[in-house]
Amino acid sequence: MPSPSETKKYRQENLVLKQQIEERAGKKVEELYNERNKRVRAAVELKTTDRVPFSLMVEVQSFAGVPNAASYYDPLRMKRAMRQAAVELEPDMAEGGFPSCGAAMTEMDVKNVLWPGGPLPPDYGMQAVEGEYMKADEYDMFLNDPTGFVIRRYLPRIYGVLQPLAKLPPMDSMFMGFDFLTPLFTSPEFVEMAKHLAATGKHIQEFRGTLMEIAGDLEQLGFPAFAAFGAGGVGGAPFDTLTSSLRGMKGSMVDMYRQPDNLIKACEAILNRRIARAFPADKNAKDYPQKIAMPLWRGDPTFMSEAQFKKFYWPGLKKSLQTHVDLGYVPVPFFEAPFGDRLKYVLELPKGKIIVSIDARDISVAKKHLAGHSCLLLRSPNTAKVWSLNQLQSFLKDVIDTWGKQTGLMIVIMIPDRTPVKDMQDMLKWFKEYSRY
């Protein structure tokens, strides 16, 4: 972890950059922030603005020479790289990556994730490891004793060092006292677990102290945050949680045929518990209404039929989206694959309250169903990272031409690998002019 002096140096760099930005733009960073925020808000509300807002998809490894492992072991270096991209390319929305503490993950012996610099080489991306972390015969326990299930079944399967928790008796039957259980904690395996937990806590404290608040750092330089994950909201489709975090893809798909009622009850329980913990958006926040990102994956036609989508997936997702709106947030559902005509279900939700993030291949069908109803956030395809700038420019031109002068469009632009900053700046200058209303 960086020393206090390195952290102090980072903060001082931010102040210098702020001054340079204001001198270059001839405006205060607060003015730049408000201009960008106003442009984004107008797009969300389907109002006319000067041009199409954009954010960037930054591969810091090729853009700034920073390995992906920095997000887990050197967050200050990762933050510098994300800040560099924002300052040099000036998007309307910026984010600082999603760092996690690699040392803590190693200490806990995490089983459901592989990450760069840990089990994977430093230049790889994070990889989720699906499994049946809830067995087919454990629905009743999950539904009737969720805390007991998480403590005695789920956590020992996800974290190697928490395997001793599987030996705990049911916690809901200890009305006569807890003291009889305490000798269990003197056993070597529980003592060892306690050591790992203490070490993990220290790693997390150091990591958070270094991490600071990247969104605040970028705001200080005039860049609104793109979207938060989870803060205050209720998450995405509960089916995605169940299929990826609990039953696995195979298990959940088998359950759609063998025990569909339990599957639906579990999805409802997941969402209802999230709603019970949610809280309204802060109306005094600078970026109100706050945007809440929610990745979605298992509802596309590759994984389930239309009938299954309507039965297992859409009811939970619709309730989640509506709850976010009711709480004062702007939900940003990320349809991570082509969902095609299934995007039409968004029409069942309030107009001008949602940002629908789609795969680039869905641009025509999204225009057909959602133009004039919901703001569209179109993502450049992942293959754009190996495109030439001419290919990227041609793609963006086609998007603007396809969408036409209809309001309610935003774009996430992937930066091709090893693109010189000056060339990318010139391309973005062109885009700002071409995308004017």
**Distance between CA atoms of 84 and 77, rounded to whole angstroms?**
11
For residue 28, the 8-state DSSP code is: -
What pairing do the DSSP bridges indicate for beta strands 113-114 and 54-57? Answer: unpaired
- Mean pLDDT, 10 residues at a time, the chain of 437 residues: 78 94 96 96 95 92 89 89 94 87 97 96 93 97 95 97 94 77 93 98 87 78 85 87 95 97 98 94 87 93 96 98 95 94 97 95 95 96 93 96 93 93 96 96
**Residue the block writes with tokens 């309001």:** 407
**Distance between CA atoms of 293 and 286, rounded to whole angstroms?**
18
Cβ atoms < 10 Å from Cβ of 208 = 12
Q: For 299-345, what is each residue's pLDDT tens digit?
A: 999 999 999 999 999 999 999 999 999 999 999 999 999 999 999 99
pLDDT at 63: 86
The C-alpha torsion from 312 through 318 and 321 to 322, rounded to 10°, is -140
pLDDT at 266: 98
**Residue the block writes with tokens 């860049």:** 223
**Distance between CA atoms of 262 and 164, rounded to whole angstroms?**
29
Read off φ and ψ for residue 352, nearest 5 degrees.
Answer: 70, 25
- Maximum alpha-carbon separation in the chain: 73
Tokens of 424: 């990318």
Read off φ and ψ for residue 17, nearest 5 degrees.
Answer: -65, -40
pLDDT at 384: 94
The C-alpha torsion from 31 through 34 and 36 to 41, rounded to 10°, is -160
**Distance between CA atoms of 91 and 73, rounded to whole angstroms?**
27
